[in-house]
Structure 1
Amino acid sequence: MTTTSAAKLPTQTSTPEPKTKNQQIIDLLSSEEGATLDDMSKLANWQPHSTRSFMTGLKKKGHVIESVKIDGVRRYRILPSGDA
């Protein structure tokens, strides 16, 4: 007769997985005040053209991105689904 040992369950850590750069940018754009191109570029450590390209990809995925100029500074924000 063979005996089987109880399978070990994977241990769960108390710290969540770190957010990807993409998710951090989306979170920043989803905030009420939005973000500038410089804010996003610094957060992700991307060049401005890469950041603009990422926003283009978000638009292609169906996100509506609002662009407003306040005191000479352009800010971008993802609009909530009902605000489009």
Structure 2
Amino acid sequence: MHVTETEQTESTGAGEPKNISLQAVVTSPKRPRKQAAAHAEVAKGKNPKPVETKADAVLKKLRLAKGITIEGLIEATGWQPHSVRGFLSGTVKKKLGLLLVSEVGKDGVRRYRLDTKVKC
């Protein structure tokens, strides 16, 4: 903790002494960044393993010819159902501009897949 003196002047009179108070200023200790360790490994010449993100896993499963259900994506990512649907509409369709096909099979289960032939 760091203590500093602050001066505060009152506007009641010109000849009055200044009000001096001590305030405690809390400063957080410097913590190493998580990225620093990763950069240190690269600098040492170690080959870090490529990390597959959850988004990569979803896209990989969507590229399957058979497709995948919402429940399958929930199990693969650990996301809530609304997060999976939001990722499909917001990221896959809008940001990436991929054509997402939704089909109900003979078993009555809706499956999602990417149409690899067309890109929006």
Do they fold alike, i.e. is TM over 0.5? yes
Q: Secondary structure at the match of 1:79?
A: strand
In the TM superposition, residue 10 of structure 1 has moved relative to its aligned partner by: 4.0
In the TM superposition, residue 83 of structure 1 has moved relative to its aligned partner by: 7.5
Q: What is aligned with 1:19? A: 52
Checking the alignment, whether the CA contact within 8 Å between 2:99 and 2:118 is kept in structure 1 is no
- d(CA) in 2 for partners of 1:72 and 1:39? 15
Assess, with a 3 A threshold, how the Cα gap between structure 1 residues 26 and 59 changes in structure 2: closer, same or farther.
Answer: same
Identity of aligned residues (%): 33
Tell me which of the two structures has the higher relative contact order, counting C-alpha pairs closer than 8 angstroms and 6 or more residues apart: 1
Checking the alignment, whether the CA contact within 8 Å between 2:104 and 2:110 is kept in structure 1 is yes
Q: 1:60 aligns with which of 77, 85, 94?
A: 94
Q: What is aligned with 2:116? A: 80
Assess, with a 3 A threshold, how the Cα gap between structure 1 residues 82 and 64 changes in structure 2: closer, same or farther.
Answer: closer
Q: Which runs of 5+ in 1 are unaligned?
A: 1-8
Q: Would you tell me which structure has more helix in proportion to its own residues?
A: 1
Assess, with a 3 A threshold, how the Cα gap between structure 1 residues 82 and 19 changes in structure 2: closer, same or farther.
Answer: same
What's the RMSD between the two structures over aligned residues? 1.9
Q: Which runs of 5+ in 2 are unaligned?
A: 1-42
Q: Secondary structure at the match of 2:118?
A: helix
Q: What is aligned with 2:10? A: none
Q: What is aligned with 1:69? A: 104
Assess, with a 3 A threshold, how the Cα gap between structure 1 residues 23 and 73 changes in structure 2: closer, same or farther.
Answer: same
Q: Secondary structure at the match of 1:82?
A: strand
- d(CA) in 2 for partners of 1:81 and 1:23? 20
